[in-house]
Every structure is written in C-alpha cells, then in structure tokens.
Amino acid sequence: MFLETIEQTNDIKKVAKEDWDALAQEIRDFLIQTISVTGGHLGSNLGAVELTMALHLALDLPRDKIIWDVGHQSYTHKILTGRREDFGSLRQFHGISGFPKRKESECDVFDTGHSSTSISAGLGLVKARDLTGGDNTVVAVIGDGSLTGGMAYEALNNAAKLEKNFIIILNDNNMSISENVGGMSKYLNNIRTASGYLDLKKGIYNALLNMKRGDDIINRLRRAKSSFKQLVIPGMFFEDMGITYLGPVDGHDIDTMVSVIGDARRVEGPVLIHVLTQKGKGYLPAERHPARFHGTEPFDIETGVPSRPRTEANYTDVFSTVMCKLGQRDEKVVAITAAMPDGTGLKRFRNMYPGRFFDVGIAEQHAVTFAAGLAAGGLKPIVAVYSSFLQRAYDQILHDVCIQNLPVVFAVDRAGLVGSDGETHQGIFDFTYLSGIPNMHICAPKNKWELSDMMKFAVALGAPIAVRYPRGTAYAGLKEYRAPIELGKAEWIYREGEIALLAVGSMVKTAQRVRELLKEKGHSVSLVNARFVKPIDEEAVREACRGHRLLVTMEENVACGGYGEKVLDCMNRTGAKNAFLGISIPDAYVEHGNVELLKAELGIDPESVARRVEAAL
C-alpha cells in the first residue's frame, strides 16, 4: 500500500517513479470508496488524480502555490497534504470541506467554490510574490468548463502583460457538468482531436528547437501574422495573446506532466499547459454518465445506483414540469441556463424546444444581459439559476434588466441552505441583493403547487421578477390553500390571536410545525404565507399588528435586507407597538453540513423557533 505511506505534504516524493501508477490506482479506489459513502464530486476528482500527483511531484508545497478553480476537484490534493484520514467526515458538519479552505491547510492558498476565479487569484499571488521578492511558483488549475466564464478571460488578458513566471493549467476533459459549450470549447476540441496533426507540429517544433538558430525561427514564427504559423504552433489563441502554450499533454501520464511542469517553470511570463483528461476516469459508471457523477449522492459501487433513491419530487422537478407547460402555451417563452441544464431542470424544456433553449456556459453575467436582450426583442426569457451563482450578476440585473424594466423571470433555485457544499453555495443572500433594486419583484412559494402558480404569474407579469425556491423535496402540504397569486398579496392560512407567524417560502412548512408546538403550550397562533418579499403585503402586516401581541417573521435568508427588516420597517412607519421577533440566518457564512443540523445550529428549526418565540413573549 503506497497510499498509507502518504501522511503529510511532500511524502509523495518518497514514492518511486515505477510505483506512481499504482499509487494513482490506490487514490482512485479510495476516492470511489469514500465518495460512495459521503457523496461528493466524483467525476472531476477521478479525472484529476494524475494531474494532482504530477503537481505535487514537480512543485514544493506549501512554498509553491496551487489555486484550484471551483475547487471541487481538490480531493487528491487534500489526500496528498495530510488529510486522508479526515475523509470520513468529507462535506459533513465540522468535517473537512469539499472545497479548498485556507483554514484547513497551509497548502490551500485560496478558497474557491464559484468558477473562473483561479487565474485572477493566481495573478494576484504572482504580483504579491514579485513585489515582496519571492521566487516561488504559482499555478492556477482551471477546467475547460470554467474557462467559459468571463472572469477567466479578463484575467488572461491581464496576465498576458506579465514578465515573470505564472503557470496556468487547463484541465480539459471536454465536459462542464454537462457537455461543455461554445466557441472556446470547439477550439479546444479541435486541438484535442487533431492529435496526428499535432504530432507533426510537435515534430516540426522539436526539429526547429534542435536546429542552430531554431529558437530564432520559432520566435519569428510566433510574431508572424501568416497562417503558416498555425501549422507549427498549437494553441495559437493563447500564443497570440502573449501566453506561451505547452501541449496538449496526456493528463494521465504523470511522468510527462512532471517534465512539462518543469519546463513551464522556466518560462519567463505566463504559460498555459493544456492537459487532456477524462472525467470519471477509472470508474465505468462515472465515465459513462459524467453529468450524474459530477456531484453525487452516496451510491452503490457495484452498480453506480444511488443508495437512497429519491421517491418524492423536488422543487427542481416541479419547475421542470411547469417550464414545459409554459413553453407549450406561449412560443415567446425561452429558457436560459449558465451551464446547468441538469441541475436547474431545464433539460426537458431543451428536449422539447431546442430552439428556445440556451446554455451559455458558466457565464451568469452574460446569461442575465443576454436575457435582457431577448426581452428587449419581445421574448419572455426565464433565467434558471442557483441563488449563490446569481450573486455575480448583480449589476447585470440592475443595469441591464431593471433600469429598463424588462420582463425577465429569474427562477432562483437552491435558495436557502443547501447543505454539504457549504459557505460558497448557501443561497441565503438573494432577498438581500435583489430587494434593493427598483422594479424588481420577489416571491417564494410555500409548496409545490404554489411554485407552479408563481411561475405562471411571473411570466404573465411583464416586469422583472424572481421566484425563489429551495433545494430538496417539494413540500406537498397545505394543498387546499391555493388562492390565486396577486402581486404583493400575502395569504392568511390560520387566523387566531396572540402570535402571528409571517413566514416566507420554505419557512411556511417550518412555521406550521412551530404553530403546533406553540399551540401545545396553550398559545393562540396565526400563520401568514408572505408570498412576496418585494413588494411586501403591508396590509397583511397592519392586520397582524391589530390582532396579535407578537409578530414573528421567518425566512431562510440573512437578516440584513431580508423580509423581517421590511416588516419591521412597515411596523415602524405605522407606529405599531407590537413585539417583534425576526427569525433568519445570522450575519455570518454558514459552513457545510446536513441541512437539518445546520438549521438547528442556527436556531431556525421548528423546536428552536418555538423556544425563541416563547422567550420573546
């Protein structure tokens, strides 16, 4: 067993070269075994085993720095930096994170989670190194999917001016979560598939290198504008920008990669190594179904089938169904995703209406402005996006959609606590960042039927609107409460006295339980389904003030800028003297872990809320 000999950083260097492949196999077996129990990002990690080993063999960590784009592929890096024994707790509360975390190891130099940030962060580390007189190597590892994000190009553009060494590794597995899309993907694919032709290029290149004055010819070729240089130098796109291109390299050949990384360290200026890998490598179900094994729940290793198959529909399924209906009803309805056709549930819409479906790559900012353009052109765009990823399109929402009051619908999935992906992925800020924008409307359904109704309402509204719903099983309670959706109108579910619970979206279900607990203690409790966070139903707030001692707002969003503040503001403006309790997420980032556990920890589960309400009385 070679894996057992790896207890700390750089232990890999004690493994003999002839045993590298055996170690890679052990790491793969370990990853499959562990992730089958904990769940996690399997495919990307299986594809990056050799690449990570080569980096650890060629570099000197922690002196040298590796920034992992998205960071979901950093498991082997964690194993090689003394964290193997912690893997039983992967993505669990207080356990190790599924992403790089500076607080976890000095070898994690930059926290990631959202894509396309690694080149910018790496460039910052390079500049910091140069200004402080350091001479370590900085490497940004970015996938071809993440290279569809605009920030990566902003960073490449900026990096091209560098005169000192900076290594960018393009881990190209020809996949994002689903098939990768767009012009760059096509370009990379052409390089990938032209391997015979590339051998010829390499041959010419090497022959020139070995010739007297060959270097000179290569440099002149690089500067030449002729198409002849295309024949000799691969990776022209990067070369033309001023970034030295090395590759393509077989990303499962450790020896070659170690030597190419060594070459790259000697380049003055930015250098990109194009590494070809296979997503899911070494585990047949993951090779065959890369999208499903991108991020997986626990599964049976033998069959690849989830250990706990889903029996109930989740909110994404409900959204998926209503999208197909909306598409059928109205030809102007179009759908946009930023590289998440599976995760957002848009795949069925894509299959039914391929001409009205757009996967724009991991490009949320572009997705939003593109949608604004579609709306300005008379269509009815629906942008389906996860709450945390929409954060980066703030200005596009404000500047391109809302100032012009364009009818773009945002279907904001994974809103609220998401669990094991942790602080970068919790969808707990959308009420805050959306509600300050004039012309924006925000609503959240209490159950699966209301999500359908709200989507239909949203498309008919003719103005910017976000419908936000959580990850996981769609609530199937309160079916009989299905009053038509009216703009800015809340729904009274139970009318009693003493305590009024005003709950938003997912918290209506929690509030139902809170109400039961309080009634067991002899309290009289009303329940209002807020439905809208912008505009809030001020009449409902005033009515609640009239008949109750205590108003309790409940939301799965941070307090700052959330629903509770709006209710409180309304109370203040009307001079209400009722007691008030705001139940929300505290002003902090929420780590990874089981959602129920996190809720209890944050004091927003039914038992904690009931206790807090009694204390407030």
Ligand X SMILES: Cc1ncc(C[n+]2csc(CCOP(=O)(O)OP(=O)(O)O)c2C)c(N)n1
> CA 80, CA 301: separation in Å to the nearest integer?
24
Q: Which residues are catalytic?
A: 279, 364, 392
Instruction: List phi, psi (to 5°) of 588.
Output: -160, 165
Other Cβ atoms within 10 Å of 66 Cβ, number: 27
Figure out which of the listed residues 100, 145, 505, 562 binds ligand X, where binding follows CB under 6 A.
Answer: 145
Q: Determine if the peptide bond prior to 248 is cis (ω within 30°).
A: yes
Question: Binding segment for ligand X among 264-272, 332-340, 510-518, 590-598 (CB under 6 A)?
Answer: 332-340
Chain-centre distance of CA 487, in angstroms? 31
Amino acid at 535: P
| Residue number, 36 or 171, with CB nearest to ligand X | 171
Figure out which of the listed residues 9, 38, 97, 176 binds ligand X, where binding follows CB under 6 A.
Answer: 176
H helical segments located in 337-406? 347-352, 364-376, 387-390, 394-395
**String of contacts with ligand X for each residue 364-383, x by CB under 6 A:** x-------------------
| Residue number, 129 or 592, with CB nearest to ligand X | 592
CB of 347 to ligand X, least distance (A): 14
Sign of CA dihedral 223, 229, 232, 234: positive
> Over the range 558-573, which residues count as b (16 or more CB within 10 Å of their CB) and which as e?
bbebbbbbbbbebbee
- SS3 state of residue 412: strand
Figure out which of the listed residues 12, 152, 243, 339 binds ligand X, where binding follows CB under 6 A.
Answer: 339
Q: Does 286 contact ligand X by CB under 6 A?
A: no
* Best CA proximity match to 309, nearest among 300, 318, 301: 300
CB of 277 to ligand X, least distance (A): 8
CB of 385 to ligand X, least distance (A): 8
Q: Does 279 contact ligand X by CB under 6 A?
A: yes
Pair of tokens at residue 183: 């012009």
CB of 361 to ligand X, least distance (A): 8
Pair of tokens at residue 276: 């070809």
| Residue number, 339 or 493, with CB nearest to ligand X | 339
Q: Does 146 contact ligand X by CB under 6 A?
A: yes
> CA 543, CA 328: separation in Å to the nearest integer?
40
Q: Does 173 contact ligand X by CB under 6 A?
A: yes
| Residue number, 368 or 544, with CB nearest to ligand X | 368
* Best CA proximity match to 421, nearest among 571, 535, 589: 589
Phi-psi region of 271 (alpha: psi -120 to 50; beta: other; left: phi over 0): beta
Q: Which residues contact 483 (CB under 8 A, 6 or more apart)?
A: 491
CB of 143 to ligand X, least distance (A): 2
Figure out which of the listed residues 57, 90, 119, 175 binds ligand X, where binding follows CB under 6 A.
Answer: 175
Q: Does 115 contact ligand X by CB under 6 A?
A: yes
Q: Does 251 contact ligand X by CB under 6 A?
A: no
| Residue number, 138 or 177, with CB nearest to ligand X | 177
Q: Which residues contact 19 (CB under 8 A, 6 or more apart)?
A: 2
Figure out which of the listed residues 83, 114, 350, 366 binds ligand X, where binding follows CB under 6 A.
Answer: 114
Tell me the number of residues near ligand X by CB under 6 A.
Answer: 24
CB of 304 to ligand X, least distance (A): 18
Q: Does 389 contact ligand X by CB under 6 A?
A: yes
> CA 281, CA 300: separation in Å to the nearest integer?
17
Q: Does 413 contact ligand X by CB under 6 A?
A: no
Question: Binding segment for ligand X among 175-183, 344-352, 456-464, 478-486 (CB under 6 A)?
Answer: 175-183
Q: Does 387 contact ligand X by CB under 6 A?
A: no
Within 54-93, which residues bind ligand X (CB under 6 A)?
A: 70, 72-73
Beta strands in 417-547 (DSSP E): 441-443, 465-468, 491-494, 498-503, 525-529, 532-534
**Contacting residues toward ligand X, per CB under 6 A:** 44, 47, 70, 72-73, 114-115, 143-146, 171, 173, 175-177, 279, 294, 338-340, 362, 364, 389
